[in-house]
Amino acid sequence: MILMRIIAHRGASKLTPENTLMSFGIAIREGVYGIETDVQVTRDGEGVLFHDRKLSRTTNGHGRIDEVPIEYVRSLDAGLGQQVPLLHEGLSFMKEESAGKIHVYLELKETVYRHLNAVLGEVVKLNMLGNVTFISFHHDMLNSLIDADPSAHVGYLHYLHISMHSGRLAVVNHRLLTERKMQLARSKGMGILAYTVDRQDRIRRLSEIGVDGVITNDVLAAKAALRH
């Protein structure tokens, strides 16, 4: 069986509050290859690691993250007393906790559009460009990122179909992946990651057809699936 990479979706999100330093730390201690997390930008231009545009699902706050200041976002409880991490804070933590070994998949949300250079600058400032892959459903944003820095790693997110970006990484809804589609992607020199996969039988099947990695909420189940 091909060795497949395990990528923790929003950190160890089945075990701890998603996109928090706690979730990142536990994922690293479980020995995952990478961590997927999300970048949003607040009203005053601060990058934070947070998935939803609305604050209410995962915090005790209200409103939209791009319509409130960073002081408000940082005052919220993101679960078990955790704060919403700043972009540079979360990246620094992951780098230090993993001794620079973790690979971070940063999903760029729509609020990042006007702040793309600032987000890229934070990664460069931390000397993490080689350890970060920028992923997004907004493919034009990724293309702008490549224009700004051709050395940046990017991954094109796909939900309903797979666009063939030769030589690039595609991050694909796992339900779209078949052996035939994997062969086509390979003929184009593409890497393939599957999201979001928690069932052990599906993880094993994706490994069998040659998927490079799975993004999973359940890092323990993924590890168990790949042991057998």
Q: What average pLDDT does range 85-104 have in this prediction?
A: 98
Q: How much is the pLDDT for 177?
A: 96
Q: Which two tokens stand for residue 133?
A: 């892959």
For 118, the 3-state DSSP assignment is helix
Instruction: Give the whole-number percent of the chain exceeding pLDDT 90.
Output: 96
Q: How much is the pLDDT for 181?
A: 95
- Do the beta carbons of residue 92 and residue 57 sit within 8 Å? no
Question: Do the strands 47-49 and 34-41 form a parallel or antiparallel pair, or are they unpaired?
Answer: antiparallel
Give the domain CATH number at 93. 3.20.20.190
Q: How much is the pLDDT for 228?
A: 73
Task: With a cut of 90, say whether residue 75 has pLDDT above it.
Answer: yes
The reported pTM is: 0.97
Q: How much is the pLDDT for 3?
A: 81
Its domain, for residue 95, covers: 5-227
Q: How much is the pLDDT for 2?
A: 54
In this structure, how many other beta carbons lie within 10 angstroms of the beta carbon of residue 56? 11
Task: With a cut of 70, say whether residue 1 has pLDDT above it.
Answer: no
Report pLDDT digits (tens) over 177-225.
999 999 999 999 999 999 999 999 999 999 999 999 999 999 999 999 9
In the chain, how many domains are there?
1
How does the average pLDDT of the chain come out, rounded? 97
Task: With a cut of 70, say whether residue 92 has pLDDT above it.
Answer: yes
